[in-house]
Chains A and B, each alone.
Chain A
């Protein structure tokens, strides 16, 4: 059995010898590795704040309901209605469909602003995190900005007031040419909050799933142990 296992492992290892795939991060060699933390409630709340201030005028969250957001992120009902929903015609159980419609978006920006509910699952958390950090000024683009991760992106650098302005040097690297409202570290933390919130929006159950999973696994570990003991008793009969 051990020999069979070793053989299978060796065979499986052979696959790893071939060259890896192309970069998924556009002009960058690789994305900055980032794994979202959906357990930090305050970070999710800060991320929601950033989203509502900087993203929601274009991008909707069409699979997330307001009341789900309110419950999961522990938002007081009056704040939800007065500061987030704003529109009295929208019910708490409605989906968070705001943002630009695709016709306006295409006319004004040249592309439709995609719904962001599942974006971190489509692109990956590292990709979104790196993308948000990689805008730079590019006079050749209609809106004056470009992105190293998604070259030719139609999205303007909406976070420039926070991050400051960035340009490319002659080596193609990002350099800061003016300071924003946030320091580098503060901006980095803010982007982590935003990606954490997007990861939550992509899968609201994730935090509960990761918390509860351990009990299910523990149950099956105990089940296995009991069954192993039971089987040991039975197998004595046929030795």
Chain B
């Protein structure tokens, strides 16, 4: 049997490099032995991506992508399709989980310098993934065609309309209609189920190939490739499979305990995962009292709202300036590898300014997130403006303080 198996594998390997790739990416791929819990989010993101794809395909079989049928088809899935409710709740909770894990994964990257040379491309592909995930989330949020789907989409699409000169035409082009309508819904459906997921799969592959080329990092920022044993395996490393695969499984178990606790006992997530107004069908004559984005966009939405002033001299309205700053808040993440001039990777060995910067950045992000889910008032706008400043400052000043601050010496080994 074994002999047969081997001859089959050699037949296959001559035609398609299965063993070579398995060894390169799984059984012989070295990863650091010692990492902390922050390093589990990448694996969990893969798991949740699969959950979204599988549940998404199931939902797609029963969903109707028309203005007249969309809302009712979601209720049909919830009531008449066997386990449709489970698929839908897994998909909606999965969307929130995806962002939650993504933000922690990126925060890990910022903490331990997972973007520094030679990992720039790994980070860059990751940032594109964040951008695509945001687009995917937005497109998917419109599909249930509830009140919040409709009005939140209106707010976001009107941002394109705020761009000088080309704005109004661009908005009509994106919408496929003069107002947000069934035409918009069906094109958003196509983008949500085909275009964006395909791009995401491609980028996940690039992200992982690039990572396997440069090697995974660790919280110490130690280069494990420097010290190898006689077989060429790094002394501080271990093969990805079985050591890392099996260390990920208990974490995946814990993740699913939390995930399914929400799915089964609090699928609405206190109104943050499935918002109350979205249980009412979209009505273009009735604007909800308070339009708020889902929690995972709240920090960026808060930045958008915080800009209450324009630059009249240049003909820039406050709305357009808000859009620019909002876009910049995502765009700035792409250039982080070139902003950090530090000699060390990990926050553990960086100086005081880096640590203060990181705390300010994280605190601003969370506060902006909180404010983004609340109606505006003067105090909240002021706090959002201060937080927007503290979101950008640590990143903008990074080239200066990382270059001049005192760093600690990084150990040779893990």
Residues B79 and A205 in contact, CB atoms below 8 Å apart: yes
Residues of A within 8 A of B (CB-CB), count: 46
Range of interface residues on chain B? 35 or more
Residues B79 and A63 in contact, CB atoms below 8 Å apart: yes
Interface residues of A in 185-215 (CB under 8 A from B): 202-205, 209-210, 212-214
Q: Which B residues fall within an 8 A CB radius of A?
A: 33, 36-38, 72, 75, 78-80, 85-86, 111, 238, 242-243, 246-247, 249-250, 252-254, 256-257, 260-261, 263-265, 267-268, 276-277, 279-280, 359, 362-363, 366-367, 369-371, 374-375, 379-380, 383
Complex contacts, B79 vs chain A, CB 8 Å? 63-65, 68, 204-205
A88-113 near B? 1/0 per residue, CB < 8 Å: 00000000000000000000000000
Residues A209 and B264 in contact, CB atoms below 8 Å apart: yes
Q: Could you tell me the distance between the alpha carbons of A19 and B371 in the complex, rounded to whole angstroms?
A: 10
When C-beta atoms are compared, the residue in chain B nearest to A215 turns out to be B264
Segment among A47-55, A138-146, A224-232 that sits at the interface with chain B:
A224-232
Segment among A36-44, A119-127, A129-137, A148-156 that sits at the interface with chain B:
A119-127
Tell me how far the C-beta of A107 lies from the nearest C-beta in chain B, rounded to whole angstroms. Answer: 18
Knowing A15-B367, A63-B75, the reply to whether A22 touches B264 (Cβ < 8 A) is: no
Most buried by B among A22, A124, A234: A234
Chain B interface main SS type: helix
* A-B complex: 6 closest residue pairs judged by Cβ atoms: A213-B264, A224-B253, A15-B370, A227-B249, A121-B279, A228-B250
Knowing A4-B38, A18-B383, A234-B243, the reply to whether A227 touches B363 (Cβ < 8 A) is: no
> Quick check: is A86 within 8 A (CB to CB) of the other chain?
no
Residues B280 and A213 in contact, CB atoms below 8 Å apart: no
A-B contact pairs, 29 of them (CB 8 A): A15-B366, A15-B369, A18-B380, A18-B383, A63-B75, A63-B79, A65-B80, A118-B279, A118-B280, A121-B268, A121-B279, A123-B276, A202-B279, A203-B78, A204-B79, A205-B79, A205-B85, A209-B264, A212-B264, A213-B260, A216-B264, A220-B260, A221-B257, A224-B250, A227-B246, A227-B249, A231-B247, A238-B33, A238-B238
Residues B250 and A217 in contact, CB atoms below 8 Å apart: no
A9-38 near B? 1/0 per residue, CB < 8 Å: 001101100110110000000000000000
When C-beta atoms are compared, the residue in chain B nearest to A230 turns out to be B246
When C-beta atoms are compared, the residue in chain A nearest to B238 turns out to be A238
Residues A223 and B37 in contact, CB atoms below 8 Å apart: no
Complex contacts, B36 vs chain A, CB 8 Å? 1
Complex contacts, B383 vs chain A, CB 8 Å? 18
> Quick check: is A78 within 8 A (CB to CB) of the other chain?
no
Chain A interface main SS type: helix
Q: Could you tell me the distance between the alpha carbons of A14 and B369 in the complex, rounded to whole angstroms?
A: 12
Residues A121 and B276 in contact, CB atoms below 8 Å apart: yes
> Quick check: is A75 within 8 A (CB to CB) of the other chain?
no
A7, A205, A234: which contacts B78 (Cβ < 8 A)? Answer: A205
Q: Could you tell me the distance between the alpha carbons of A15 and B363 in the complex, rounded to whole angstroms?
A: 9
Most buried by B among A7, A203, A204: A203
Q: Could you tell me the distance between the alpha carbons of A236 and B253 in the complex, rounded to whole angstroms?
A: 21
When C-beta atoms are compared, the residue in chain A nearest to B362 turns out to be A11
Knowing A209-B264, A227-B246, A238-B243, the reply to whether A122 touches B276 (Cβ < 8 A) is: yes
When C-beta atoms are compared, the residue in chain B nearest to A223 turns out to be B253
Residues A224 and B75 in contact, CB atoms below 8 Å apart: no
> Quick check: is A237 within 8 A (CB to CB) of the other chain?
yes
